């Protein structure tokens, strides 16, 4: 695994990124065995095996944790480790966000034209008014932003209408290499969003606004 980044944000969140495209599940499994981590994966697809094994190694590197569990909302958690975890991945990149004090959400998506075709499924009517239908970059930012907010909501059963309940505030189209700060709301709750536009994909970190953060 090749580390892409290790970044600390103002609220204390650490985001670790790894490149999975230059390794194989066999190499990752061998490294897991060296560290005493579980090396078997039931998934048949090579890309999925890399993701699972990569998660185990990343958690070990970041937290010395030997496993990943899930709470009642299916959100990831690390047993016996205080804090909050969020994970996102594409076929080539794996991201792990960790915060010891408050919930967070992170999402990652490549520049795929498909996101333009499904805009009606995740953008509400107001968002479709200000977000140009052909602006791929903004659509990818919006997609990852809504996914990140959903992950950051501590009780996901409250989200019955993903498209309309999570509302994005208008933002300008970022250029590749830029870091965009913007906002979203979920009812009376407000979220600060940080979107990083890479060469091939965008990731967004969501943190709920709180006077104590």
pLDDT recorded at residue 189: 94
Pick 120 or 71 by higher pLDDT: 120
More confident residue, 69 or 119: 119
The pLDDT of residue 158: 85
pLDDT of residue 74: 67
Least Cα distance to 7 among 97, 92, 70 occurs for 97
Q: Could you tell me the fold of the domain covering 2-101?
A: Ribosomal Protein L22; Chain A (3.90.470)
- Banded pLDDT at 73 (limits 50, 70, 90): low
Q: Give the per-residue pLDDT at 211.
A: 60
List of residues 6+ apart from 17 with CB closer than 8 A: 3, 4, 5, 6, 7, 93, 94, 95, 96, 203
Confidence category of residue 213, pLDDT binned at 50, 70, 90: low
**Is pLDDT larger for residue 207 or for residue 62?**
207
Q: How far is CA 91 from the centre of its chain?
A: 13
Domain ranges of the chain: 2-101, 106-208
Across the range 16-44, mean pLDDT stands at 91
pLDDT for residue 212 is more than 70:
no
Query: Is pLDDT of 156 > 90?
Result: no
Q: Which of 44-53, 72-81, 84-93, 179-188 has the lowest mean pLDDT?
A: 72-81
Tell me the average pLDDT of the chain.
89
Rounded percentage of the chain residues whose pLDDT exceeds 70 = 92
Q: Which residue has the higher pLDDT, 213 or 173?
A: 173
Q: How confident is the model at residue 72 (pLDDT cuts 50, 70, 90)?
A: low
What are the pLDDT digits (tens) for 80-109?
677 888 999 888 899 999 998 888 999 999
**DSSP H or E stretch at residue 136:** helix 136-152
- Name the DSSP class of 120: H
Q: pTM of this prediction?
A: 0.90
């Amino acid at each position: 695994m090749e580390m892409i980044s290790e970044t600390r944000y103002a609220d204390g969140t650490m985001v670790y990124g790894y490149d999975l495209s230059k390794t194989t599940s066999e190499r990752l499994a061998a490294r897991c065995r060296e560290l005493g981590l579980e090396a078997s994966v039931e998934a048949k697809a090579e890309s999925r095996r890399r993701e699972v094994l990569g998660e185990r190694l990343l958690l070990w590197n970041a937290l010395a944790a030997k496993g990943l569990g899930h709470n009642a909302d299916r959100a990831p958690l690390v047993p016996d480790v205080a804090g909050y975890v969020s994970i996102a991945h594409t076929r080539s990149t794996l991201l792990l966000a960790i915060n010891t004090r408050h919930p967070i959400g992170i999402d990652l998506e490549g520049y795929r034209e498909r996101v333009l075709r499904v805009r009606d499924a995740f953008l509400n009517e107001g968002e479709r008014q200000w977000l140009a239908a052909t602006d791929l970059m903004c659509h990818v930012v919006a997609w990852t932003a809504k996914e990140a907010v959903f992950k950051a909501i501590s009780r996901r059963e409250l989200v019955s209408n993903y498209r309309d309940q999570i509302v994005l505030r208008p933002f300008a189209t970022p250029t590749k290499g830029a870091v965009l700060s913007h906002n979203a709301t979920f009812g009376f709750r407000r979220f600060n969003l940080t979107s990083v536009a890479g060469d091939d994909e965008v990731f967004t970190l969501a943190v709920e606004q709180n006077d104590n953060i």
